[in-house]
Structure 1
Amino acid sequence: MKKVKIHISTSHDVYANLALEEYLVTQSNDDILLFYINSPSVVIGKHQNPWKEVDLTLRNEKKHTIARRLSGGGTVYHDRGNINFSFIRNKNQDFVNFKEHIIPISAALEKLGIRNIISPRNDIFVNDHKVSGNAEHVNSKLGRILHHGTLLYDSDLIRLNGSIRPQKKYEIKTHAVNSVRSPV
């Protein structure tokens, strides 16, 4: 069995933690499991349009930070009631295999007595509520993969739901990817 280094970030800065993920993908050859918790922030996928995904008035009022991550997928909300996990690995084949990374998280929840299911969209649900969304980034040049996900346990759901829905509907022509909303 290959050794995996475990790293727990002490930063709560979304930009620092996303930069750490990118650094570990591009500058390390180790297989790493990274955990971090961010201060209130909204993180959009690589191919998303913030005007269609986020309540930007909250950003203007300095109520949260908005960041873009390396991976695709939908918009997510982070706060101190949400732990983020990242599997950063060398991988030369079968790059996109979400289950390989989600099943251990699901199994850990089961060991804690938390019954859950993995959805066809590779999310984890507890009692019909989404508690984990996941996304992947592949750096094929370096043969590295980043699989990361959220794990809600005590997030401010009112703030979460208010943050990831724009107050104003803009008429924007775009090829950006829209989020698929799930009850949390």
Structure 2
Amino acid sequence: MISSKHYSPRERYRALETWRLVDHEYRDNPSMNLAVEEAIPRMVGEGKAPSTVRFWHNSNTIVIGCFQSAKLEVNMQACKETGTEIVRRFTGGGAVYHDSGNLNYAISLPKGHRLVPDHNLQSVFQRLSEGAVEGLRRLGVKAEFQPVNDIQVDGKKVSGAAGSIRWNSVFHHGCILVGSDLSILGKVLNVPRVKLEDKHVASVQKRVTTVRDELGRDITTKEVRDAIVGGIESCYEVRLESGVLMKEEVRLAEELYQTKYSRLEWNLEP
């Protein structure tokens, strides 16, 4: 066997495990975005799609966890006043706010993948947050993973994540506050008082931060996306190769949209 030192850096890069990189979004249709979030891991679990990293954006939206009550988590009147939609994802966890200053990412892997072989969701959160943490650090943000599923900077949340192990796949997705409007976030989310007291803060705005605020300069979601691509490749020793969704994935997403994610009974009940 030829020693790896005889290979050029480019050759070693080409030999890495390859994941698909997808920038596929419906910025003004958050329900369709969430349908795609489910379609990809289903196809990965069936062996019809490769391991995939997806980046995407939503317009003003609250995304609640699968088991949450919209009435408890959301200020309905504030949502009406700010034009904020309410949708439900298939993963658990807490409610999050999306707008054009928010970058969403998702990682879909086949079950049993070398990165998360023990099928433990806490391990998934920690291991699959490392790429985002590394990407933020490359930008100069002092990001740290904070269990259960947050990325924080000096005790303030800059990203939250959720995930699942089902359909013979491992799925992890997170949202990064790049330049989000925290004043709207504070109006539309009902954060339990006990949660704020636990963090010794008086409002949700005091509990979170943005990449822009941490760097003290304007920064685009594209810059953050590119940094996270580098972080993922470095942390997981993989090569991300730009690709597109397969026709079967799009068809499944459209079916999930029609039967589930576009329906009020899914998004707002119970």
Normalised to the residue count of structure 2, the TM-score between the two structures is 0.59
What SS does the aligned partner of 1:25 have?
helix
Q: Could you tell me which of 137, 142, 164 is aligned with 1:115?
A: 142
Please tell me whether residue 104 in structure 1 is matched to residue 122 in structure 2: no
How do 1:30-109 residues align onto structure 2 when only pairs under 5 Å count? 30-61=50-81, 63-92=83-112, 93-95=117-119, 96=121, 97=123, 98-109=125-136
More helix by share: 2
Equivalence for 2:258: none
Alpha-carbon distance in 1 for matches of 2:97, 2:80: 17
Aligned length: 171
Normalised to the residue count of structure 1, the TM-score between the two structures is 0.85
Amino acid at match of 1:4: W
Equivalence for 2:179: 154
Q: Could you tell me which of 40, 52, 57 is aligned with 1:24?
A: 40
Alpha-carbon distance in 1 for matches of 2:186, 2:111: 35
Amino acid at match of 1:138: I
1:109-133 residue CA offsets vs partner (Å, 9 max, x unmatched):
1111111121122211123321100
Alpha-carbon distance in 2 for matches of 1:64, 1:37: 14
The gaps in structure 2 that reach 5 residues or longer are 1-15, 197-203, 209-270
> Of the two, which has the highest radius of gyration?
2
Query: Aligned-pair RMSD on alpha carbons?
Result: 2.0
Alpha-carbon distance in 2 for matches of 1:74, 1:163: 14
Alpha-carbon distance in 2 for matches of 1:180, 1:17: 29
Amino acid at match of 2:105: F
Are 2:126 and 2:147, in contact at CA under 8 Å, matched by a contact in 1? Answer: no
Equivalence for 2:227: none
Equivalence for 1:173: none
Structure 1 residue 62: Cα displacement: 6.8
Amino acid at match of 2:134: A
Alpha-carbon distance in 1 for matches of 2:174, 2:195: 15
Alpha-carbon distance in 2 for matches of 1:112, 1:150: 17
